[in-house]
Amino acid sequence: MDMRPWKASGPDDFPVGFYQQAYNCIGVNVCQSIKDFWHSLAQIASFNQIDICLIPKVDKPKFVTQFRTISLCNVNYKILTKAIINRLKPLMPQIISPI
């Protein structure tokens, strides 16, 4: 719920805000999808779909260098990575040395 809700949607065409607004209806299915992922890595392809888009840096770009890329991840991927990050945060000081 702490993700920005209305940023660009990914390959699934649903922004995070849809999931946040409809959580009472779809929350159980989303949680089950995440649990299924942990038990069967066969779903990794569906979680790992990302659209890469080129955004022009200037009007009427003519060269590839005049674009920047953005990656549009699907929401299940974002939820999964957010869950992993939140679980690892307390362990980071013990895992990574400041030096």
Within a domain: residue 49?
yes
Q: Which residue has the higher pLDDT, 1 or 93?
A: 93
Q: Could you tell me the pLDDT band of residue 1, with boundaries at 50, 70 and 90?
A: low
On whether residue 67 sits in a domain, the answer given is yes
Is 86 inside any structural domain? yes
> What is the average per-residue pLDDT within 23-27?
88
Asked if residue 44 is part of any domain, the answer here is yes
Phi, psi of 30 (to 5 degrees): -65, -45
| pLDDT classification of 58: cutoffs 50, 70, 90 | very high
pLDDT exceeds cutoff 70 at 10: no
Asked if residue 57 lies in contact with residue 68, where contact means CB atoms within 8 angstroms, the answer is: yes
Q: What pLDDT shows up at residue 9?
A: 66
The confidence score (pLDDT) of residue 4 equals 67
DSSP label of 41 = G
The DSSP 8-state label assigned to residue 97 in this structure reads: -
Report how far apart, in Å, the C-alpha atoms of 47 and of each of 12, 15, 50, 77 are: 10, 15, 9, 5
Number of domains composing the chain: 1
Question: What φ, ψ does residue 96 adopt, rounded to 5°?
Answer: -115, 125
pLDDT over 90 for what percent of the chain?
Answer: 19
Distance, in Å, from the CA atom of 58 to the CA atom of 67, rounded to the nearest integer, reads 8
3-class DSSP assignment, residue 69:
strand
Instruction: Provide the residue range defining the domain that includes 51.
Output: 16-92
